[in-house]
Amino acid sequence: MTTTHYDLAPLEQQRRGITGSMIRLSVGLEDADDLIADLTQALEVVTV
């Protein structure tokens, strides 16, 4: 697995504006309606 910021020191993450409350979203060629449905479902789980 690769990440864009996991290996950065906390101070460097802070300097780049990366916080613990951020969500990384990676999408490909999915249909927009499918993406919206998936995000809606995931956010409902997080906020419950």
pLDDT tens-digit readout, 1-48 = 567 777 889 999 999 988 888 877 777 888 999 989 988 998 888 665
| Tally of domains in the chain | 1
2 falls within a domain: no
- List, for residues 11-20, the tens digit of each pLDDT value: 999 999 888 8
39 falls within a domain: yes
Give this prediction's pTM. 0.48
Q: Is 17 left (phi over 0), alpha (psi -120 to 50) or beta?
A: left
d(CA 36, CA 8) in angstroms, rounded, equals 30
